[in-house]
Structure formats: structure tokens, C-alpha cells
Copies of this chain bind each other. A is one copy, B any other.
Amino acid sequence: MTIKEVVKSDKTLEKFNKEKLCKSLIKAGVARKDAQVICKDIIKHLPERTDTQTIHKTVHKFLCKNNLVCAVKYSLKKAIMDLGPEGRVFEKYTARILNEYGYITKVNQIMKGKCVDHEIDILAIKDGVHYIIENKYHNQRGIKSDVKVVMYLYARLLDIEEKRRENKDMAQHIAWLITNTKFTYNTILFARCRNIKLTGWKYPKKESLEKLIEEKSLYPITALPSINNTTKNLLFQNNIILIKDLTSATENDLMRIGIFRKNATKILNEAQEFLKITNKY
């Protein structure tokens, strides 16, 4: 019995593609010569019909045995889902990523428009340009950011721009949608046509969300294997969101915010090991 069909996260069926799986291993850092062998081994462990998440987990298990960097990198999508259930932490995480790329950020700003006041998730400023950012967070796989989101964002930009012109404010404003999911085709078309910046999963190719994270090793703490729900919430409450943030923390710091010594040791060790290998602190 070999795997034949895959149920994708949007519930559609797809023929299983062996090449795609083997290539994903090479992309994750497996040497080309080993990839075919590991790939065959993984396929042996999959049932005739399975879903993308199960494939993902199985690959993860095979690849990341005793390899922390692999584990963290491979679980990024899930780690971001784990920032939820609501979008508040994703908002903070996004602001932190932008900071690392040189943007000054303010979260939850009110900006006056011609018709109404607008609640802006993040206002980011860089090189004199003001970015009006809408943050769309989904805690489920298989959801795509709908064209309606960029449409209301465009209406918001126009409303704010009209007010600014009244006030003779000449700063350049650009609307920007940042999400942890993919975009529909119409979202991309509309955004291109109206000059709205998009950042999401695998889009745009060279500056997608995961590229921005990988480039500067801005992984969230939820990617560490030893983080559980309790420790996650305690760390978030204390504004520790990136694995990087843990470099300046001591065991005592973590115990002071309510984490048991045993967990604190584990978390700090993992963080240090990860950052040492990725060489990014």
C-alpha cells in the first residue's frame, strides 16, 4: 500500500506528488544524496489517503530527530498558529519583525479620516513613508485572506488621505496588509492595481512573512519544542515573543514570572542552542 491521495487543508483532494515531497526535504536542508532515501522511508510510513498535516508531522519526525534547528525551522507555520487564538500577539510579533527591519512602529493608533476615525493595527514609519498596516491573523489552516480586506483597507487609505490633504500634511502614506495566511488571486490583483503592500505566507516571493522571519532568525518562542501553553502565556504577558528575547533572560527572571525552574532551564537551553547554531545574536 502506497500513499495515493492527499486531503489539503482547504479540504480539497490532490493526487500525491512524490517529487514535491522529496524536493521539500532538500529545501529543508537535507543533502540531495540523502533526500531520496529519507523520502522513500517517509512514504512507507504514510497510509493510502492522508492529509497535509499528517505528512508534515511525519516528515518533521524523520528529519528533526535530535536536531533542534531543524525542529524550530520546520514548525514555523504551526508556531505562528500557536500565537493565537486571537490576533493580539501576532500584532505584537509583526511589530517586532518590522522593528528589526528598521521601521518605527506604533500599535493600535486612531487616525482621522474625512468620514470617520480609523483604528490602525500598526502604524509603521521608515524613510519618511507612513505605512497604515492592517494585521489579519487566522488560527486555522486553509483560510486565504479575502479581497474584501484589501478593499476596505483601500477605502480607509483614501479616507485618511483626504483628511490629510485638508490639513496640508504631505507625508506619503501606503496601505499594507500583513497576514499569516496566503492571499486569494483577487486580493493580489486588487493590491497591485491600487498600490497596496502585501505580506503573507509565501507572498511576495522574496519578502514573504517566513522569509522575513528566516532572514533575521526572528522565530517566535512557540517554535521551541519545550514551550507549553502555560509557559507561552506567561512569556507573552511579559512581552517575550521572539526566541531572541530569551538571550537577555536568566533562569531567575523566568521563575519570577511564574515558570518552574525545570521548565525555565529547558527553555533557556533550547533558546541558547538554537541561537548559537543559527549564529544570529
Contacts and interface: CB of A to CB of B under 8 A. Distances in A.
Interface stretch (A11-19, A150-158, A261-269): A150-158
A114 B152 contact: no
A50 to B, nearest CB: 31
Interface string A184-210: 001001101110000000000000000
Contacts of A116: 147, 186, 189-190, 193
Interface size classification for chain A: 20 to 34
B151 A193 contact: no
A170 interface: no
7 smallest A-B Cβ distances: which pairs?
A115-B193, A151-B152, A151-B155, A152-B152, A155-B155, A148-B152, A115-B190
Given A117-B186, A148-B148, A152-B152, 17 more contacts: A114-B193, A115-B189, A115-B190, A115-B192, A116-B186, A116-B189, A116-B190, A116-B193, A148-B152, A149-B152, A151-B151, A151-B156, A151-B159, A152-B155, A154-B155, A155-B155, A158-B158
